[in-house]
């Protein structure tokens, strides 16, 4: 639907110009309203026009695809240095629910070099079939190679839904593939469901800086695509008695298709910042007071074999790099144990760690919101509490 101005009816009152929240309406030489390309079709101007000169005009639908030809729910199973990333298993668990609700199969998409053994993990996690594309050109993630492989799979086998993890690779691959198959993509989802009225996938994601949650549908294009944050969903219990159909697909990538060459892999971070896969995370916030005090966070994380996290306030202050940030605008995590040290518990931070199994909060403010979600709370100065905890945990591990 597009918003249009009927010039003959416009009285040049300017009400719509002042009302548009996006600054998408200007005036022409005769002072009549002109709607620019910045318009989002929100309709705010329609409600304020005193003479009804602004209307919605239905645009001709350009998507002439046969949607009935598209079936099955696909999950992209991401690999990293030869290892299966947990987000693929998490999405298989949630994809199983979508597939059953839609009466369709759940399929995994596995691309890599000598990765066939990983297919059994996909079957154990609920997949009915796995599409396997193998070759040396897929040994490391390459935007060109993986985009060509995924695009070919979609155009050949026509899935109804395609889920990817909102990781660095997934956020790069998803938009490329969506563009080539001419469909939409909902990014950074935190919830999935089925819309009761239409039967479409209802993609839920934060909007307006996390202040609201938007539900997005893709009615006219296929597949319905979206990236989903890691750790939003729990991994399903594996059932290794399950089996499924392994569909081998020949690679269509030619050497000339790959425009980049991997020269070297330089690791700039240890396991201490691998937040998505960590089972224990120790996070620090504004209450750590200064960057030097984060050594206490790092020492406790080291004693527990965990990862180091940080609140947005700590990252914005330059105390820790952004790759450590947990929260609405950072990483979504779900470890077995989450330590919140000097973190007040802003809603944006809670959104990124609320799926943790056990939350332990340390804060000198007994009324801090973090204690409302914590399983265990310590009211005290983190500078005094952290060294004591670290020492005790080292003793326990030593024994």
Q: Residues annotated as binding site for FAD?
A: 286, 311-312, 325-329, 342-349, 363
CA dihedral 233→239→245→248, nearest 10 degrees, is: 70
Phi-psi region of 182 (alpha: psi -120 to 50; beta: other; left: phi over 0): left
- CB atoms inside a 10 Å sphere around CB 245: 13
CA dihedral 178→183→184→190, nearest 10 degrees, is: -70
Instruction: Tell me how far apart the alpha carbons of residues 303 and 214 are, in angstroms, rounded to a whole number.
Output: 40
The token duo for 45 is 């101007």
The helix or strand, by DSSP H or E, that contains position 119, with its residue range, turns out to be: helix 119-124
Binding-site residue ranges: 286, 311-312, 325-329, 342-349, 363
Q: What angle do CA 79, 101, 194 make, to 5 degrees?
A: 85
- Buried b / exposed e along 203-228 (16+ C-beta atoms within 10 A): bbbbeeebeeeeebebeebbbbbbbb
From 309, 283, 297, select the one nearest 383 (Cα to Cα): 297
Break the chain down into helix, strand, coil percent, rounded to 5.
Answer: 30, 25, 45
Instruction: Tell me how far apart the alpha carbons of residues 145 and 125 are, in angstroms, rounded to a whole number.
Output: 26
Instruction: Tell me how far apart the alpha carbons of residues 279 and 357 are, in angstroms, rounded to a whole number.
Output: 10
Count of all residues that appear for the chain in the document:
399
């Amino acid at each position: 639907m597009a918003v249009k101005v009927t010039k003959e009816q416009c009285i040049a009152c300017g009400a719509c110009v002042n009302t548009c929240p996006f600054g998408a309406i200007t005036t022409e030489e005769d002072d009549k309203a002109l709607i620019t390309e910045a318009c989002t079709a929100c309709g705010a101007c329609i409600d304020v026009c005193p003479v009804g000169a602004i209307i919605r005009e239905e645009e001709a639908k350009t998507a002439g695809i046969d949607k009935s030809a598209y079936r099955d729910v696909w999950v992209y199973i991401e690999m990293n240095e030869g290892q299966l990333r947990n987000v693929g298993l998490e999405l298989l668990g949630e994809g199983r629910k979508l597939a059953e609700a839609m009466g369709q199969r759940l399929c995994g998409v596995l691309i890599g070099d000598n990765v066939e053994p990983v297919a059994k993990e996909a079957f154990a996690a609920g997949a009915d079939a796995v599409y396997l594309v193998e070759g040396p050109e897929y040994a490391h993630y390459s935007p060109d190679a993986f985009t060509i492989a995924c695009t070919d799979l979609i155009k050949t086998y026509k899935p109804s839904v395609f889920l990817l993890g909102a990781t660095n690779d997934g956020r790069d691959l998803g938009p490329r593939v969506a563009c080539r198959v001419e469909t939409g993509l909902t990014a950074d989802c935190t919830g999935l469901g089925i819309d009761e009225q239409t039967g479409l996938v209802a993609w839920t994601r934060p909007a307006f800086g996390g202040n609201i949650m938007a539900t997005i549908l893709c009615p006219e294009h296929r597949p319905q695509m979206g990236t989903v944050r890691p750790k939003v969903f729990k991994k399903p219990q594996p059932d290794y008695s399950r089996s499924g159909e392994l569909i081998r697909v020949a690679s269509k990538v030619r050497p000339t298709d790959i425009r980049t060459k991997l020269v070297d892999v330089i690791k700039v971070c240890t396991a201490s910042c691998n937040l998505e896969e960590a089972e224990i995370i120790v996070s620090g916030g504004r209450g750590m007071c200064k960057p030097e005090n984060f050594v206490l966070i790092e020492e406790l994380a080291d004693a527990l074999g965990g990862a180091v996290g940080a609140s947005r306030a700590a990252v914005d202050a330059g105390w820790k790099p952004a790759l450590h940030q947990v929260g609405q605008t950072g990483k979504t995590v779900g470890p077995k144990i989450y330590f919140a040290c000097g973190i007040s518990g802003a809603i944006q931070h809670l959104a990124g760690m609320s799926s943790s199994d056990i939350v332990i909060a340390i804060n000198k403010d007994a009324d801090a919101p973090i204690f409302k979600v914590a399983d265990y709370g310590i009211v005290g100065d983190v500078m005094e509490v952290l060294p004591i905890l670290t020492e005790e945990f080292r003793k326990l591990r030593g024994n």
